[in-house]
Structure 1
Amino acid sequence: MKKLVLFLTIMFMTMSYGQEIKQIPQINVNGEGKVKVTPDQVCISATVETTGSNAKEVKKQNDEKMDAVLKFIKKMNVPTADFRTKQVSLNPIFDYEKKKTTYNANQTVEIVLKDLSKYDELMEGLVQQGINRLDNVTFESSKLAQYQSEARKLAIKDAKLKAEDYVSVLGQKVGKAITISDNSQVYHPQPLYAAMRMKESADAGASNETLAIGEIEITANVSVSFVLE
């Protein structure tokens, strides 16, 4: 009796395992969706940096420059909610050869400028007021989430069209999607705009247009597995 029960159990397990590993005819394809939009805002990360031998004096000078920078930003009518202090530091730097300690103070402000017509004036003014390092300048869209959604839908449509192309010559049809993987990455183009070049233009009183906004290409990439019918 025990042998019979064991035999039936093994048969049931074998049948179950056979059912589990049964393969479903399917096709795996990649799809891509692209949406091109003109940026309507720019995010600027700018830093005031001061170095000297006296920590207190270095911090004081750096604070004074940043105070002038913040007042200038307000004068440009940038809303308070659109700029903030991102980082503040004061660090000792020891020179082992000269056996001397100097101090480095820096403070970073992040600005979201939604009126791109003010870009050149703002950038030149920041340098004039004491900004000596631009860490990042990124052109963005305020409707990024909306455009990402559009790109994802286009990517799924592209994947299905590819699958239909492949199976059309086989006399089969594309069925339901059984797996979807999102492989998307968002890329923001950045301008080559050196701080020193801005300072030279500002000192010379130049009013040349330096901004070429271009377009942001928002891309979505997906991998989809469809059942074949």
Structure 2
Amino acid sequence: MKKAIIFIVTVLCSTTIFAQTKNFLDTPYLETQARVDTMVTPDKIYLNIIIQEKDTKGRVSVEEQENQMAERFKAMGIDLEEQLVIKDASSNFKKYFLRQKEVLKSKQYSLLVYSGKELGEVMMALEQLDIANTSIEKTEYSKIDELELELKTRAVKKAMQKAEALTKPLGQKVGMAIHIADNSQYYPRYNQAPMMEMKAVSANMDKAQPLDIDFEKIKVETNVNVKFALSN
């Protein structure tokens, strides 16, 4: 008896699945694909800063350089708690004659700025403080999630327009969407070591203006595949 019940349930499940598949295949449909992309200017720029003790007779300590940098950043309106973090602190050993060693400390920071102009001002300030070991880590766009949703909406609308253009000459109408697939590829949410262009400034530091820096824009794209039911 139990075997008969199992057999009946199996037959019913198989019939249901077959019926759903058959109904889907019997529905006339048109499949279209649409891709939408855009370029955005990054509004979050991360600058890597390394402060090291100078290997000279009258060297300046890391702590002194750190305090000078912090005071300069505050004067520029930079929020140290929100924009500056310490990434690494280490001590490097350098060998001298007759086995003498001296500890040379260093600290690494990450500074967040919000525009190329602000970055230019920071780089000029660091240069004036004789802190030259800096590099761009990455750039980001803060509203990337909202932008992705907007692009997906535009892509589906574009797929609909393509479907209508294809069916109009045939005298058919585009019905409801019976299947939608988001085929967007995953991509980095930031530009690692982005390209940048710095415009020249005056050689006279007293009259120099902040660097005008243009960053490589971030490309954001989405790709959708939509199946539309057709009717006469």
Smaller-chain TM-score range? 0.5 to 0.7
The 3-state SS of whatever aligns with 2:78 is coil
> Do 1:45 and 1:110's aligned partners in 2 also have CA atoms closer than 8 Å?
yes
1:173 matched to 2:174: yes
Distance 2:176 2:158 in 1: 15
The two structures, once aligned, show a CA RMSD in angstroms of 4.4
The 3-state SS of whatever aligns with 1:77 is coil
**CA 1:181–1:86 in structure 2 vs 1: closer, same or farther (change >3 Å)?**
farther
Distance 1:122 1:91 in 2: 26
Q: How many angstroms does 1:92 deviate by?
A: 5.0
Match of 1:43 in 2: 45
Match of 1:128 in 2: 128
The alignment's TM-score, normalised by the length of structure 2, stands at 0.64
Per-residue deviation, residues 165-197 of structure 1 (Å, max 9, x unmatched): 344455352422533326264565944368xx9
Q: How many angstroms does 1:104 deviate by?
A: 5.9
**CA 1:217–1:209 in structure 2 vs 1: closer, same or farther (change >3 Å)?**
same
Match of 1:90 in 2: 90
Moved more, 85-94 or 120-129: 85-94
Q: Amino acid of the residue matched to residue 66 of structure 2?
A: M
Match of 1:226 in 2: 227
The 3-state SS of whatever aligns with 1:164 is helix
Percent identity between matched residues is 15
Q: How many angstroms does 1:133 deviate by?
A: 1.9
Distance 1:15 1:165 in 2: 38
Q: How many angstroms does 1:73 deviate by?
A: 0.9
Residue correspondences, number: 214
Per-residue deviation, residues 2-61 of structure 1 (Å, max 9, x unmatched): 99878766653542342243344544443333445566x4523231242789xxxx9x82
Distance 2:7 2:142 in 1: 67
Per-residue deviation, residues 114-172 of structure 1 (Å, max 9, x unmatched): 5x54443322112332241213263x655555444433322222222233334445535
Segments of structure 2 that go 5 or more residues without pairing to the other structure are none
**CA 1:160–1:100 in structure 2 vs 1: closer, same or farther (change >3 Å)?**
farther
The 3-state SS of whatever aligns with 1:150 is helix
1:72 matched to 2:75: no
Match of 1:31 in 2: 34
> Do 1:46 and 1:109's aligned partners in 2 also have CA atoms closer than 8 Å?
yes
Per-residue deviation, residues 94-119 of structure 1 (Å, max 9, x unmatched): 99xxx9987662321312245x5444
Distance 1:9 1:117 in 2: 70
Match of 1:183 in 2: 184
The 3-state SS of whatever aligns with 1:21 is helix
Q: How many angstroms does 1:68 deviate by?
A: 1.6
Distance 1:167 1:93 in 2: 74
